[in-house]
Amino acid sequence: MQSRGALRTARQRELFDDLVALLLAEGFEELTLDGMASRLRCSKSTLYALAGSKEQLVRAAVVHFFRGATERVEARLAEATGQRDRIEAYLRAVAAELEPASAAFFDDLAAFPPGREVYERNTRIAARRVRQLIADGVAEGAFREVHAAFVADVVASVMVRIQQRQVAGATGLADARAYTELAALVMHGITAYPRRTTP
């Protein structure tokens, strides 16, 4: 998560969590290390103990955010029972995790290659997870016999468009709201009709 070893003290962990919250709320393009230190009420040397530069610090914060979000989403998924509940829980949990992140954060992320790569990687992982959830639901008869790979490809395309800020640009929807709408669309599409039976 950081370039100079693991966070070793409770103060460092608390400071890093505060940094992530700051970046999510306000973005980071305009923030300098001096500005971060001032807002977090610490010294620049304290920040340098977390990472060697602003770019490294921001990337570490992005990794921390998405790693924690992934763990919480998977925990929500583990609590769900039934294939319908599982896929809906997964997409809605993704939406909930993105909710604290501002448009400024996502705009800055799109313009910051190291952070954008982290978001892209997490989007690909999420798309593969959705594909598996759909395939499992079809196999168990919980969903109508959609072509799981096709539906998953459509979902993945939308997820990539969300990640690349294209959905926000076209619709004005925040990323979290876009995932909520995607969840509703997917659930309606795969459960709207009864499963076909073989004569």
- Residue 69 DSSP code: H
Give 92 or 2, the one with higher predicted confidence: 92
Confidence (pLDDT) at 191: 75
Which amino acid is located at 137 in the chain?
G
Sign of CA dihedral 174, 176, 179, 183: negative
Q: Where are the domains of the chain?
A: 61-191
The 10s digit of each residue's pLDDT in 86-142 is 888 998 898 889 889 998 999 999 899 999 999 989 988 888 898 888 888 888 887
CATH no. for 61-191: 1.10.357.10
Q: pTM of the predicted model, to two decimals?
A: 0.80
